[in-house]
Structure 1
């Protein structure tokens, strides 16, 4: 499945021209230079994360124009009223082309990109959008919270002016799929890393990072003309930085896992061209209490690869957390969950069995 195909040749030409112009702007700014999506490129003039900086809400639900890049990201593991398993993804990215990019109207130097996907055991459907900042086509408001690109939205369902992310609505649509879900938080926001300061390399690269892993989700999903009522669990991630990868890091393998019994587990492996991978994990109890995992206790072992888009991508994994007696094997709902967007990657719902059972999402970049 390719990114959205417009209905007319004129619309298609306009979409291609806009996308090409925005990609050219990203390239000329150096944002495509190194690592996955250019995230290893140096970023002079931009703010950088500092350890010990407290996060504040609802302010930090909004955009951070002093930083080069950030994203708002939702995944959901769903079960349909037909008994089948499904997954959806919604992501909004902001890229600043230069420092102090937030300006009025067409002078704004931010590029926005949206990705959305719907996955079943037999289909993986996705779409992509691009927008310029400053003209009302895309943006984020901290309170009441609203993130949008065209008609794709992630927004509060509450009426108060300071409404945050406790009760959200997420929606996206394309010619082959659509979804609209209500998300209701049943636990607290989780600060990743050291109070929200998340290290990504031994060289000191880092981001600010928090999650809301306790969403219950319910709503509707349409795929290839068939509408299904769905419910399940969702996870929201928020991250911002200016150089989250080191120059020799080429991508990551990221897991968000819902364990039966209520605990959550977030893990990532940042892959380097020559050095050993940088590992991080956070054990999240059912009540939201967190425990950072020692790197020596984390094992992420690819067990099986599949050929997708002329690349060998690991789609079955062994995950071990030694000090938690976790030893599980993950399997994808759909091994072909390839996001063939301009920044291509694998992302899809997974299930796992072994010492623990449950479900979650896996994202793999840089392959």
Structure 2
């Protein structure tokens, strides 16, 4: 579900940029907040492109989320993350400093022995951050995701990606070799037995080329990337405490998106099987089985960094392995996010995100 976004972090951000306390209390307190006053996702709504590549200020929360599995010319493995989050402090539209939107960016590079991450915050309405659907452009300060195609072609088919942080940076070009994929039922993705949901689509077919800067060294890289786009106003139930989210590139060319949202009764699970031509097959909630197989000490907590992932009806039974156990995002609200490989019934690579640990 790819953020995935850890919006409790925005409480601190909102405070830092002098947002009124009344707005803070109803804004970024968490993904399980009530949706009062905001729009909520409804089944049967048709997603529209390119408009839905842009922001949806009538909804409380939203994100543009890219993860990439890359390798250098010598075969060295890397992971890259670029994320822009938007959240509304109030269900209204204002301009300038009265704009109720707050933006947060996360960027990271993961190697086998280092995890480098950075975080940015911005206030809406003053040009510091935002998203434009056509021509596509998403930015926060000098971090940007920029469409490289003219109107008339899907704006996300070809994009550039740039971010920098302490001791790292990257400039990448992403070219899609497959279609956008609607998650859930035609883009309506249910997140709990109580019916919380989001609008959710992905672009899992990016080929990537470009360069990384790691500790003063520039490395040419290539590989695969996955974009998630999601927006809602209350995507989690109040008793859901965190999640595991997997994006899997199978050696067969098929893709799998799978997540479990943890609660007191075992969690809500969902998966989508994506054919090499991009045709999605949403699977029933009970189709996905996941269980931890190895735990690592990450800072002051134990985190399950390797998992067995099974979808019996599709013959999938794999065990994942992280590139780096310590892929910990030490951001305002911390979480684990890093590249993985997997083996078993098939091989491949992907990304894993875990929150609530």
* Superposition TM-score tier, normalisation by shorter sequence: over 0.9
Residue equivalent to 1:357 = 347
2: CA distance, partners of 1:162 / 1:23: 40
CA 1:314/1:297 → structure 2, altered by over 3 Å: closer, same or farther? same
Q: CA deviation at 1:310?
A: 1.7
Task: Say how many residue pairs are matched.
Answer: 345
Residue 30, structure 1, aligned to residue 26, structure 2:
yes
Q: CA deviation at 1:307?
A: 1.8
CA offsets, 1:147-190, max 9 Å, x none?
10001001101244876100000110113100011000000000
Contact 1:29/1:98 (<8 A) preserved: no
2: CA distance, partners of 1:23 / 1:313: 35
2: CA distance, partners of 1:153 / 1:44: 32
Residue 57, structure 1, aligned to residue 49, structure 2:
yes
CA offsets, 1:183-240, max 9 Å, x none?
0000000000000000000001000000000000000001111110000000000000
CA offsets, 1:96-137, max 9 Å, x none?
00111x321111011000000001001100000000000000
Residue equivalent to 2:6 = none
Contact 1:143/1:162 (<8 A) preserved: no
2: CA distance, partners of 1:244 / 1:186: 30
Q: Match for 1:239 among 203, 227, 230?
A: 230
Q: Aligned-residue CA RMSD in angstroms?
A: 1.6
Q: CA deviation at 1:19?
A: 7.0
Secondary structure of 1:304's partner?
Answer: strand
1: CA distance, partners of 2:38 / 2:68: 33
User: So what's the TM-score if we normalise by structure 1?
Assistant: 0.91
List, as ranges, runs of 4+ consecutive aligned residues in structure 1 with deviation greater than 2 Å.
17-20, 22-33, 159-163, 294-297
Secondary structure of 1:106's partner?
Answer: helix
Q: Match for 2:139 among 129, 140, 148?
A: 148
Q: CA deviation at 1:25?
A: 5.8
Residue equivalent to 2:4 = none
Residue equivalent to 2:328 = 338
Secondary structure of 1:303's partner?
Answer: strand
Contact 1:320/1:327 (<8 A) preserved: yes
Q: CA deviation at 1:309?
A: 2.9
Q: Match for 1:67 among 59, 66, 85?
A: 59
1: CA distance, partners of 2:310 / 2:187: 24
Residue equivalent to 1:322 = 312
Which residues of 2 match residues 38-117 of structure 1 at below 5 A?
38-100=30-92, 102-117=93-108
Between 290-299 and 217-226, report the one with greater CA deviation. 290-299
Contact 2:328/2:337 (<8 A) preserved: yes
User: So what's the TM-score if we normalise by structure 2?
Assistant: 0.93
CA 1:18/1:313 → structure 2, altered by over 3 Å: closer, same or farther? closer
Residue equivalent to 1:212 = 203
Contact 1:72/1:239 (<8 A) preserved: yes
CA 1:366/1:24 → structure 2, altered by over 3 Å: closer, same or farther? farther
1: CA distance, partners of 2:261 / 2:125: 33
Consecutive unaligned residues of structure 1, counting only runs of 5 or more, are 1-16
Secondary structure of 1:305's partner?
Answer: strand
Contact 2:118/2:166 (<8 A) preserved: no
Contact 1:254/1:362 (<8 A) preserved: yes
